[in-house]
Amino acid sequence: MRTSSLAGGGMLIGFNLFQACKPKAAPPIDLSQLNYNDFNAFIKIADNGAVTIFSPNPEIGQGVKTSMPMIIAEELDVAWKDVYVEQGILDTENYTRQVAGGSQSIRHGWDALRQTGATAKQMLVNAAAARWGVDASECAVSEGVITSAAGETLGYGDVVKDASMLEVPEDVALKEPKDYKIIGKDAPNVDIHKIATGKPLFGLDYKVDGMVYAAVVRPPAFGHKLVSYDDSAAKAMPGVLDVIKIGEKVRGLLEEDPSFSSKISSSDKVVVVAESTWQAMKAKEAIKAEWEEDTSLESTEEHDKILTDLLDGSTFKTERSDGNIKRAFAEADEILERTYESPFLPHNCMEPMNFFANVTEEKVHLAGPIQTPAWKAGLVAKMLGREESDIYLEMTRMGGGFGRRLYGDFVIEAAEISSTIKKPVKVVYSREDDMEDGIYRMAIKYRIKAGVKDGKITAYHLKEAAINDNMYGLIPNFFPAGAIENYQVDTANYRSNITTGAWRAPYTNFLAYAEQSFFDELAELMEADKIQLRLDLLDKVKPEEDERIQYSPERMKEVIKVAVEKSGWGAKPKNIYQGFVNYYCHNTHVAEVADVEIENGEPVVKKITCVVDCGIVVNPLGALNQIEGGVIDGVGHSMYGELQFENGRPTASNFDKYRMIRMREAPLVETHFIKNEYSPTGLGEPTLPPAGGAVANAFKAATGNRLYKQPFTKTPELLKVPSKEIIG
C-alpha cells in the first residue's frame, strides 16, 4: 500500500496490482457440494463439520447478516471462523419478524436465536452420548468438538446424521454471558470481501436468463395524473422491446387495501421495457406524456402556514395527559415557549430503488432489496389475486434503506409490469426517480411550552403538527414523561398527496433536537446547571408506578454521568465549545457531547463523544459502525438536509442541489459502551436523534444564538460568531 497527500487535502491510496492478485494458498470450500443435514431453518451442518447458518432478516447495512448468525453460533458452540453465512429467503412458517425496521432485529431475535443454536447443540451432544453409551450431561463441547468424561472426542460432522434424526429437545440450557466466546468479540462483516471485490450481492446485481429491464415514466408532480402519451420515438430506439401502461392493478389494490394509498401514486404510468437499463432509461426520455392536475399541487410555503395554523389551533389528539397543565401554567412564575421546524427529507440510499419480478401461472418470483418482505408478498398476492403461498421472495443485500425500503412501491410496480408483459423484469429507478417520486420524511413542527414555579418545572406541553402522520404511540412516554407532574403531548396533522413515511429514527430524528435544545434553554432561564437539571428530573421518574414509561431513569443517569466524564464536560480549553444531550429511543439510552471550534469566524463540529447503553453488544465492530454512522447522519442532516416543494415537485432531483455532509465535515466519533448483561437493544437508529441537539447546543455556546430550524445552514446569520465576548 502507498499513500500520498493531494493538494486539496485529500488522500490518494494505491496498491500493487500484482501482489493483490496473487491466488490464495487454499481454495474456498464449495458449499454446494457438501452433504448437509438440516437442523432447522437456520442451521445446516455437513458431514465434514462445515456449518452454514442462515440469516433470516433483511440486511440494509445494519449488520444483522453478521450478528444474528453470531448469536446462533455462540450457543451452537462452533468456531466462528468455520461458519458460513447465507441470506435466508422469506419464510413465514419458520421465521418470525423478517423485518429491517425500528432497530428491532437483534432485540426481537435474541432469545429465539440463542434457543435455536442451543437446541441443535444439545441434539449433537445427545447423539454423541448415545454412541458412547454415557449420559449427555457428562459431555462437554468446544468449537464443534464433543468430549466425553473419559476423554473421547467426536466432531459435529461425525454425529450430524444421527443427531438430525433425534427428537428435538424442548428445554435446553443457554450460556451465561461470562462464557461467551463469539458474542462480544469483533467480527468483520460476513460480506465484506464480496462487497470490496464487486461480487453480486445487491438488488442491482440480480440477474436471471431472459430478464428484461424497465424504466417508468411517473407523474412529474404530486397531484398529477396521466392523460395520454406518445411512444413512437421511444419504440424506434435501440434495444426497446415494448412500451406499456400500468396502474389499473395498483388502483385495484388500493381499493382493497387503502392503507397503502399514501405510499404510491394511483395514476397510470408509462413503462419502457428494454434489453438493458441504459436503453430503457434513454428511451424513457423520449416518451411524450401529457398530465393533468388531479389533486392540489402543494408547495413548502403552503405547508409552512398549514403547520403553524395547526399549532395555533385547537384541534389535537391528546397522546398523553398527566395532571392539569392549564392550572399549572396559570400558576407558573415563568413560562418558556419555543417552536422548532423541520423540512421534508429524501432517503437517498446509495443504491437506487430496484426490484425483480417474474409472474407466471405456477408462481410469482420476487427478488431484491426490501425491508418488509412479508408485507410486500402479501400486497403483491392481493394485487394479482393470488395466494400468498404462490409468492417466492428472495432478499438481496441493500445499498441502504433508512426506511425507504419499508414500503416497496417498486415491488408493486415490478409485479404489475411482469404480469402484463409475461416476462421476468427488473425495475430500476434513476437517482432522479428516487428523489422526485420518493417516500419522504414528513415536514414537522414542534411547539414546546414549560412552566416554572419556585425554581422547579411544573408544566410541560408538547405539540406536534405534521404532514400526513403523527408520532407513534410510545414516543409520548419517552423522557421527560414521568418526570414532570403536569405533562401533555398533543398531535395534529394535515393530509397531503405527497407520499411520506419512516425515515431513520422516525419522529425522534427531529424531536430529540427540539426537546434537548429546549431543555438547555430552560436551564438557562432557571439559572440551573444543564446536566443537573436533567439528573434531577430523572430522579423523579418512577417506572414501577407507571407502566407507560418506556425508559429506565437509572440507565439514563448512567450514560449521562459517563458522557460528562469521557467528554471532559466543562473542563475543555476556552476555544472548545460543548453541547450536551441525552435521549432514549428504540429501547436504547444515549448521551452525546459535541465539541465545536471556531474556524474562519464560524463554528465547526470537531468531535462527538457518544455513550451508549444497548445492553449486551453482540458485535462491537458492527456496533461501532452503526453508532458512528448514526451520529454522522444526524449531524449532516441537521446541518444541511432540506427538500422543498414547488407546485407539487421537489426542488432537488440529484446531489447537485441536495446538500449532504462531506467526508471532510464528518466529526470524529468517540464511542463508549455501558457494560452490563441486559438483553441487546437497538443500534441502527438511536445515536442519530441526539446528534442534532448536541450540535445545536454547542453552537449556542459558541455563537450565543439558539437555532430553531433545521437545517442549521438555512439561517447562516445565526452561525456567525459575534465580535464581542458571549456572557452567560
Report pLDDT digits (tens) over 589-640: 999 999 999 999 999 999 999 999 999 999 999 999 999 999 999 999 999 9
pLDDT computed for residue 728 by the predictor: 54
Q: Does residue 109 lie in a domain region?
A: yes
Tell me phi and psi for residue 399, to 5 degrees. Answer: -85, 60
Q: Shortest CA distance to 684 belongs to which of 609, 624, 615?
A: 624
Q: Is residue 25 included in any domain, yes or no?
A: no
Q: 453 and 521: one domain? A: yes
Residue 38 is predicted with a pLDDT of 81
The domain that holds 408 is classified in CATH as 3.90.1170.50
Q: Among residues 427, 450, 468, which one ends one of the domains?
A: 427
Task: Let me know whether 550 and 645 are in one domain.
Answer: yes
The reply to whether 592 and 708 lie within a common domain is: yes
pLDDT at res. 725: 61
Residues in Cβ contact with 69 at an 8 Å cutoff, skipping those fewer than 6 apart? 53, 54, 55, 83, 85, 190
295-354 confidence digits (pLDDT tens): 999 999 999 999 999 999 999 999 999 999 999 999 999 999 999 999 999 999 999 999
Domain boundary among 175, 197, 219: 197
pLDDT of residue 419: 98
Average pLDDT rounded to a whole number, residues 179-184: 98
* Residue 473 forms part of a structural domain: yes
pLDDT at 458 over 50: yes
Same domain, 331 and 190: no
Residue 723: the pLDDT is 73
Mean pLDDT of 656-684: 97
Q: Is the pLDDT of residue 3 over 70?
A: no
Burial (CB count <10 Å: 0-12, 13-18, 19+), residue 666: middle
Task: Give the total number of structural domains in the chain.
Answer: 3
Residue 302 lies in a domain: no
Only one residue has cell 420524511, namely: 441
Is the residue at 482 inside a domain? Answer: yes
Q: Do 389 and 463 fall into the same domain?
A: no
- Single out the residue in 372, 405, 427 at which a domain terminates: 427
Q: How far apart are CA 661 and CA 665, in angstroms?
A: 6
Same domain for 217 and 337, yes or no, is no
In the block, residue with C-alpha cell 429524501:
346
| Contacts (Cβ under 8 Å, ≥6 apart) of 695 | 579, 594, 596, 605, 635, 638, 639, 712
Same domain, 603 and 462: yes
> Which residues form the domain of 390?
203-295+355-427
Average pLDDT for 561-579: 96
Least confident piece of the model among 262-271, 391-400, 633-642: 262-271
Rounded CA-CA distance 272/233 in Å is 12
Q: Are residues 151 and 242 in the same domain?
A: no
Rounded distance, CA 547 to CA 537, Å? Answer: 18
306 inside domain = no
Collapse the DSSP code of 355 into the 3-class scheme (helix H, G, I; strand E, B; otherwise coil) and give the result.
strand
Cβ neighbourhood burial of 210 (10 Å; 0-12, 13-18, 19+): exposed
Cis bond upstream, residue 352 (ω within 30): no
Closest of 343, 345, 514 to residue 443, by C-alpha: 343
Phi, psi of 640, rounded to the nearest 5 degrees: -125, -25
Torsion angle of C-alpha atoms 617, 622, 627, 628, degrees rounded to 10:
150
What pLDDT is recorded for position 456? Answer: 97
Q: What is the pLDDT of residue 28?
A: 52
CATH of residue 576's domain is 3.30.365.10
